[in-house]
Chain A
Amino acid sequence: MQIMVCLKQILDPELPPRDFRLEQEEMTPVTEGVPMVMNSFDQNALEVALKLRENWVGATITAVTVGPESAEDVLRKALAVKVDQAVRVALEQDSRLSGGVVAALLAGAVKKLVPDLVICGRQAGDWDGSQVGLILAEELGWVSANLVTGVVPGSGGLVLRRELEEGYEMIEGTPPLVITVTNHESNVLRIAKVKDAMAAMRKKITLLEPAGLGIDLRGDAIELVGLEIPAKEADCELVEGEDGWEKAENLVKRLIDLKVL
């Protein structure tokens, strides 16, 4: 079982709003001097891959990211929890690609790496597009399943646990397969051990060039036309009253005045 797990480096979603700034001309968030992290759903995807490898003798994991050299930090983190190899599809710094182009690049990587199973996070916490995994399956012509929280070997291939609104379901899937993973208490990414963390920095990262994958980055069909931080306005009004009843009555009157009710 060859597993490929797709990892994206994003601006830390925990970044305090005061530190989030935009490069107006470039229409891109400022990434210099702010922490960059592995997308949280991709962390869940990586943990799902690691658990599957533990249950499947001989399985290997290749971590793949699409991004500039600085994105190698997420691959180092994956190497520290002992993925077998790491691959970066090399982009220029500050490249901005739509989900469709990223999926095409990953499809090119799949053709080179020939995995049986591709695992993606369900969406990335920067643009929240939720497109890459499913478009990738379409590009490859593979079966896909989304909102998966865990994968174990089954008699006919793999058994996937999927989140539903009312609970969960178990389904069978036969590779080749693309799955997208959502968060669950069972797939919180483990933290590395000291020796593995220190060794991760010295491991090799393989580079793939977009041109070598037959992808033309200029062919992006989506154009970003505007980007701004919404102005946040807050107005506080205290509703007076002798007691709770009167306050409630005054609150209802005020809400009617404001046409909320």
Chain B
Amino acid sequence: MNFELNKDLLFLKEMIRDLMLEKVAARAAEIDATDEFPWDIKEVLAEHEIMAMPFAEEYGGTGGKLLPLVIALEEIAKVSGSVAMILGAQCFGSAAISMAGTENQKQRFLPGLASGEKLCAFALTEPNAGSDPAAIQSTAVCQGDKYVLNGTKRLITQGNLADVLTVFAKTVNEKSGDQKLSCFLVEKGTPGLNVRSLEEKIGLKGSPAAELFFDNMQVPAENLVGAEGAGLSIAVQVLEKMLPVAAAQGLGLAQGALDFAVQYARDRVQFGQPIGKFQAIQLMLADMEIKTQAARYLVYVAADKYDRKAHDRSKFLAMAKALATDVAVEVSDRAIQVLGGYGYIKDYPVERMYRDAKIQQMFISTNEIQRIVIARDLLGRDF
């Protein structure tokens, strides 16, 4: 049994670490301060084929496996949670096309997304539907060769920037009258697609979250993903695949906060010695390391299980997401404590890491939902 990454993945990790240190580290605080989407950094990710990582080779990607992707996300999030979200949103917004799109849809959309020239977004959440996608109120009515969509979406990462959005809305089956979710690809500039406002978030600044309003938005029928009424199944599959994406971002944030806290503990002198000499600090750092390493192994194992289609992957994906993102909040909180008052001001990066970490506990789906998935696996679905 070998729990080490193979040489290919270690090499990839090192390459992305070097790239982040050279091109992103110096911009991280500025992105947070300005809250502006970093187009220059998006270009760096595109140029180095990091944006291509979620995609299969036949569509211009590097393979689309989750394990290399989580390693990349971890290294990016160590430096900037907001920049990691650029790649995270690209995974999230394109997954439905990769998983359930027609060949024509894949050929139309995936190469532009893999090259990083185009951006995408996943538009599921609504004012009254988050963890419960069945409660979605947006509607799509078939009219000949098009669907007409009406409704509102909230908290849509990059919803205002995306060239293509994966949108979920309810359709009505003409024969049975049943209302079911369907999935549509909506291109930027579609009449009736309106960005109402951008949410004011406490963290992940520079990664916009938009409120969208569909006003008789006409979508060609050829942009329906999968069968009409298959939207819930597609959404569930996408959400499951995206759990390690959130987990890896949490892992990177935890490691970034830990690294900074360790360095600070070496350098900061109080009572005549570096604070790292005090056991109170040592114990905190040790706990941070224990939790971060445990999260790392679970995240890697979960991603690997997904890639291998292991039968028990669902529970591992849920556990990895819940653990890594909880650890991100806990470790970045402890990092602030290690820094004392300096941890609470923006001169140091750990408060940013804490703000960026918090959303990961809710991102994709909440950690409470993950625990329900895990409990059901333990007790049985019908318990």
Mark A residues whose CB is within 8 Å of B.
Answer: 76, 80, 191-195, 197-198, 200-202
B53 touches A194 (CB 8 A): yes
* A-B contacts, 8 listed (Cβ < 8 Å): A191-B19, A191-B48, A193-B47, A194-B15, A194-B48, A198-B8, A198-B11, A201-B7
Minimal Cβ-Cβ distance residue in B for A192 = B15
User: Chain B's interface: helix, strand, loop or mixed, by majority?
Assistant: helix
Q: In the complex, which of the residues A76, A191, A193, A195 contacts B11, with contact meaning CB atoms closer than 8 Å?
A: A76
Nearest CB of B to A239, in Å:
21
Most buried by A among B12, B22, B50, B68: B12
Nearest CB of A to B5, in Å:
12
B62 touches A200 (CB 8 A): no
Minimal Cβ-Cβ distance residue in A for B47 = A193
Minimal Cβ-Cβ distance residue in A for B10 = A201
B50 touches A194 (CB 8 A): yes
B11 touches A200 (CB 8 A): yes
A222 to B53, CA, bound (A): 50
A80 touches B53 (CB 8 A): no
Nearest CB of A to B41, in Å:
14
Complex interface: chain A residues within 8 A of B22 (CB) = 191
B12 touches A197 (CB 8 A): yes
Most buried by B among A80, A191, A194, A200: A194
A202 to B11, CA, bound (A): 12
Q: Would A198 and B48 be within 8 Å (CB), given that A76-B11, A80-B11, A80-B15 are in contact? A: no
Q: In the complex, which of the residues A191, A192, A201 contacts B8, with contact meaning CB atoms closer than 8 Å?
A: A201
Minimal Cβ-Cβ distance residue in A for B45 = A194
Minimal Cβ-Cβ distance residue in B for A18 = B266
Q: Would A198 and B68 be within 8 Å (CB), given that A76-B11, A192-B48, A193-B48 are in contact? A: yes
- Tell me the total A-B contact number using a CB cutoff of 8 A: 40
Nearest CB of B to A48, in Å:
19
The answer to whether the Cβ of B52 comes within 8 Å of any Cβ in the partner chain is: yes
Chain B interface residue count, CB cutoff 8 Å, equals 18
**Which 10 residue pairs of A and B lie closest in terms of their CB atoms, listed nearest first?**
A194-B49, A193-B49, A201-B8, A197-B15, A191-B19, A194-B62, A193-B48, A195-B62, A192-B15, A197-B12
Nearest CB of B to A18, in Å:
9
The answer to whether the Cβ of B199 comes within 8 Å of any Cβ in the partner chain is: no
A192 to B18, CA, bound (A): 10
A201 touches B48 (CB 8 A): no
Seed contacts A191-B18, A194-B48, A198-B11; 13 additional CB < 8 Å A-B pairs: A76-B11, A80-B11, A80-B15, A191-B15, A191-B22, A193-B47, A193-B48, A194-B15, A194-B53, A194-B72, A200-B11, A201-B11, A202-B8
Nearest CB of B to A85, in Å:
18
Complex interface: chain B residues within 8 A of A192 (CB) = 15, 48
Complex interface: chain B residues within 8 A of A191 (CB) = 15, 18-19, 22, 48
Q: In the complex, which of the residues A76, A80, A198, A201 contacts B62, with contact meaning CB atoms closer than 8 Å?
A: A198
Within B54-68, the residues touching A (CB, 8 Å) are 62-63, 68
Complex interface: chain A residues within 8 A of B50 (CB) = 194
Complex interface: chain A residues within 8 A of B53 (CB) = 194
Complex interface: chain B residues within 8 A of A76 (CB) = 11
Nearest CB of B to A95, in Å:
23
Within B71-85, the residues touching A (CB, 8 Å) are 72
Nearest CB of A to B57, in Å:
9
Nearest CB of A to B83, in Å:
15
B8 touches A194 (CB 8 A): no
A76 to B53, CA, bound (A): 20
A197 to B53, CA, bound (A): 12
Complex interface: chain B residues within 8 A of A193 (CB) = 47-49
**Mask of B1-43 contacts with A, CB within 8 angstroms, 1/0:** 0000001100110010011001000000000000000000000
